[in-house]
Amino acid sequence: MAHPQLSIVIPAYNESARIEHALDRVMSCVEERGWDAEVLVVDDGSKDDTAAIVKSWMTKYPRLHLVQNPGNRGKGYSVRNGLLQAAGDVVMFTDADLSAPMEEAERLLAALANGADVAIGSRWMDRTRQTIHQPLYRQFFGRCFNWVTRVVMGLPFKDTQCGFKAFKRSAAQVIFRLQTIERWGFDPEILFIARKLKYVIREVPVTWGHDERSRMSYLKDGIKMLEDMARIRGNSVAGRYDAAIAAMKDTSTMVTPQVDQVEQRAKAGAEVR
pLDDT in tens, 10-67: 999 999 999 999 999 999 999 999 999 999 999 999 999 999 999 999 999 999 999 9
pLDDT (average), residues 88-104:
95
The pLDDT of residue 226 is above 70 = yes
129 DSSP assignment: G
Higher pLDDT, 225 or 187: 187
251 DSSP assignment: T
pLDDT digits over 112-160, tens only? 999 999 999 998 776 666 655 555 656 666 667 777 777 778 899 988 8
* Residue 265, pLDDT score: 43
Q: How far apart are CA 222 and CA 225, in angstroms?
A: 5
Q: How far apart are CA 172 and CA 117, in angstroms?
A: 9
* Residue 128, pLDDT score: 65
* Residue 150, pLDDT score: 79
Q: Which CATH architecture fits 6-268?
A: Alpha-Beta Complex (3.90)
Domain boundaries, the chain: 6-268
Residue 22: helix, strand or coil by DSSP? helix
